[in-house]
Amino acid sequence: MTPQIFVSYARSDQEQVFPIVEKLREKGLQIWIDHEGIHGAKLWSQEIVHAIEGCKVFILFASSTAFQSQNVTKELALASESRKHILPVFIEDAQIPTAMKYQLAGIQHLIHQKGQAQQTIDNILRTLSSLDIDSAEAPPPAPAVSHAPQRTKPASKAPFAIVAVVALLAVLAFFLTKGGSEPGPDKPPATAKVYKSTTDLCIVTVHNTGDGQEVSEGNRELREELDAKLTRFKDYKVAKGKAVSPDATTQELLAVAKELDTEFILQATINSDKNRISAKLLNVEDGRNFWSKTLRESDIEGEGEFIDEATGLIAAHIAGHDGAIHRDILAKALVKKEEDLTPMELLQLGKAVWEEQTEGVTASGTRYLEKCIELNPDISTAHAILSEIYLEDIRRDYNRIPDAMAKAKASISRAIELNPSNAIALIEQIWISRHEKDFTHCKLQIEAAMRANPYEPLVLVSAGSFLASTGVDLESGKEYLDQALKYNETPQGWYYYGYVNYYLTNNEPDKALEYALKQGIKNNHHLARAVCLYWINGEFDTAKLYYNQLVEKYPTYSLNLLRREQEVWSAAKVTRDLLQVAFKEVFDASKSKDGVE
């Protein structure tokens, strides 16, 4: 019988998971769970795949161990791709990893407390009931479960009192609004909530000890350089706070930030010899020091002046497209109900779209950014990233968005209109020009974006990917790619794509394969590229193994689709020819009885 529920878990958690599952089965639910160690017996069991594709609800018992499991990661990805209802049940406090963030964003969560199995079972049954999956003994309905993890509470003993309160509020609302929607002389108009268009950041350094509280020349220069570089990142409003004591407490630092009404505070100091810089970044809301770095002259490559080079790194690492502040805001956004997200949180969710390049993630990114713009239409970067996501709908043939190209062009125009010096808006233009094969315009747009902010990793990797993938300027493209990785401590997979084209063109297929695997295998095109590169490197058995996975998971994938992918992303003939020939040879070998010796 096709299971109603598929249970995904880490084997080390079975002592907590199995009793809950057995109780759910006693309630009449059909559940598929791997008791027999299929994971250890097969690379990717057909039985598991069929169970996930046939179920109605995918329950993930979430823990640190589960989040580290490759099998759990694959199961969740397949459930998401198959559009299953996903219900995470957290059996411990665990941080959601990057590979799972999109699948778990904005959906219901439950929290299981040890020793409270029955309470967890009741809450699972209530949630399943809301999804039209009823057990033989479903518990009475309960209030809807929050999208964010929370402790479950006993059902209220006073339902009639609740109804009475709701009715009273409705009556009061009627009389308060009675008489029409137009404001009268004694009734001020209702005002919509106003959101910031930037994330606000305060920079402080330290003053000298003693009564004078003077700021040293080195610390003053450090603060000015950080201010100059951070100001280039247009998603941020940067303020300089008063210097603090070298022994300032966290509370003293937070007090400076609160005076300036900023969400984050960066403290940076340089030693008297001007050869070591220490920096730390705090979230003002909860006082956490969530990022810190110490840089010495020996850490800085190149011949640039130490303070200049170090402050460029610090600015990029904390304020870049997917830097430390982005990650901090994103982590909180991922466990909030979607209706409670602020524009800046929606922006971070939209910016994270390239970490998992699938149709469902692209659709989610579109929704997040459109909602961001609805709440605050003045955020330039939201329009810029949305422009490329509209274009992705065309590049991948998703065809979800009517008039996607017109919308992409309108969005990028609005982004630049809102902020002509926003480097992200300037660089996002190149993908429309690239799609239209206007390479001259691309080069001009790269130059404009680089002038606006040469420290923004997104600008650098976009420029490098274009130049290396098209063959317009291979060496400059490689330099930009290297710089992008230097300025990004947590690069997304697509940062490595330009390297694949660079090394293939330079006849270094082993390096090309290495960077393709760094990019990860997140969709059919990634898998097909791995097939080709293994073949080119002479690893024929591995190439055929990956090819079999490709045709099993994406049965309609063909050489024509590979060609189209190359037309979209690579204008370099050498790269296109190598990959297409390799794919055709793998195809022929897989159909051959004997294959390749």
Taking 50 as the threshold, does the pLDDT of residue 257 lie above it?
A: yes
Q: Is 424 helix (H, G, I), strand (E, B) or coil?
A: helix
pLDDT, one tens digit per residue, over 110-120 is 888 887 888 89
238 phi and psi angles, rounded to 5 deg: -110, 130
**567: amino acid identity, one letter:** E
What's the token pair of residue 43? 């690379």
Please report which residue ranges of 260-400 form alpha helices under DSSP H. Answer: 306-319, 324-333, 343-351, 359-375, 380-395
pLDDT, one tens digit per residue, over 387-403 is 999 998 888 888 888 99
The per-residue pLDDT for 161 is 41
Taking 90 as the threshold, does the pLDDT of residue 409 lie above it?
A: yes
**Residue ranges of domains in the chain, CATH in brackets:** 5-130 (3.40.50.10140), 199-319 (3.40.50.10610), 391-397+404-591 (1.25.40.10)
The per-residue pLDDT for 458 is 96
Residue in 317, 320, 351 with CA at minimum distance from that of residue 334: 351
pLDDT, one tens digit per residue, over 135-144 is 655 444 444 3
Which residues 6+ apart lie within 8 Å of 112 measured at CB? 16, 20, 61, 89, 90, 91, 120
Percent helix / strand / coil, the chain, rounded to 5? 55, 10, 35
Question: What distances in angstroms separate CA 157 from CA 139, 143, 153, 154, 505, one per listed residue?
Answer: 15, 13, 12, 9, 72
Averaged pLDDT of the chain: 84
What's the token pair of residue 164? 């009475």
The per-residue pLDDT for 486 is 95
CA 169-174-176 angle, 5° bins: 90
If you ran DSSP here, which 8-state letter would residue 453 be given? -
pLDDT, one tens digit per residue, over 25-63 is 888 899 998 865 444 444 446 778 888 888 999 999 999
Q: How far apart are CA 222 and CA 305, in angstroms?
A: 12
Taking 80 as the threshold, does the pLDDT of residue 157 lie above it?
A: no
Taking 50 as the threshold, does the pLDDT of residue 289 lie above it?
A: yes
Q: How far apart are CA 453 and CA 139, in angstroms?
A: 58
| Centroid of chain to Cα 361 | 10
Left if phi > 0, otherwise alpha if psi is -120 to 50, otherwise beta: which for 133? beta
Number of Cβ atoms within 10 Å of the Cβ of 11:
15
Q: 294 falls in which pLDDT band (50, 70, 90)?
A: very high
Q: 355 falls in which pLDDT band (50, 70, 90)?
A: confident
Which residues 6+ apart lie within 8 Å of 188 measured at CB? none
- Secondary structure (H, E, C), 230-262: HCCCCCEEEEECCCECCCCCHHHHHHHHHHCCC
Q: How far apart are CA 434 and CA 442, in angstroms?
A: 7
Taking 90 as the threshold, does the pLDDT of residue 69 lie above it?
A: no
Q: Per mean pLDDT, which of 135-139, 453-457, 521-525 is the most reliable?
A: 453-457
276-283 vs 289-296, strand pairing mode: antiparallel
Helix (H) or strand (E) holding 198: none
Q: How far apart are CA 306 and CA 297, in angstroms?
A: 6
What's the token pair of residue 172? 């009061």
Please report which residue ranges of 487-572 form alpha helices under DSSP H. Answer: 497-505, 509-519, 524-536, 540-553, 559-569
Using only C-alpha atoms, the chain has a radius of gyration, in whole angstroms, of: 27
Q: How far apart are CA 562 and CA 560, in angstroms?
A: 5
Q: How far apart are CA 123 and CA 550, in angstroms?
A: 39
Secondary structure (DSSP) of 21-44 = HHHHHHTT--EE---S-HHHH-SS
- Placement of tokens 């300037």 in the chain: 426
Q: What is the dihedral of CA 527, 512, 394, 357, to 10 degrees?
A: 50
Question: What distances in angstroms separate CA 429 from CA 327, 366, 462, 482, one per listed residue?
Answer: 25, 18, 10, 22
Q: How far apart are CA 22 and CA 57, in angstroms?
A: 17
User: What contacts 24+ positions apart, CB below 8 Å, involve 558-565?
Assistant: 559/583, 559/584, 559/587, 561/524, 561/525, 561/528, 562/525, 562/528, 562/532, 564/397, 565/525, 565/528
Strand partners, 506: none
The per-residue pLDDT for 211 is 57
How confident is the model over 4-30, as a mean pLDDT?
90
Is residue 210 packed enough to be buried (19+ CB in 10 Å), middle (13-18) or exposed (0-12)? exposed
Start-to-end CA distance of the chain, whole Å, equals 43
Residue in 84, 70, 77 with CA at minimum distance from that of residue 101: 77
How are strands ordered across the β-sheet holding 289-296? 236-240, 199-204, 264-270, 276-283, 289-296
Q: Per mean pLDDT, which of 303-307, 389-393, 509-513 is the most reliable?
A: 509-513
62-76, 275-289, 403-417: the lowest-pLDDT one? 62-76
Q: 326 falls in which pLDDT band (50, 70, 90)?
A: very high
How confident is the model over 87-102, as a mean pLDDT?
85
The per-residue pLDDT for 36 is 52
Which residues 6+ apart lie within 8 Å of 400 measured at CB? 359, 362, 363, 366, 393
Q: 502 falls in which pLDDT band (50, 70, 90)?
A: very high
Taking 60 as the threshold, does the pLDDT of residue 350 lie above it?
A: yes
**193: amino acid identity, one letter:** K
199-204 vs 85-90, strand pairing mode: unpaired
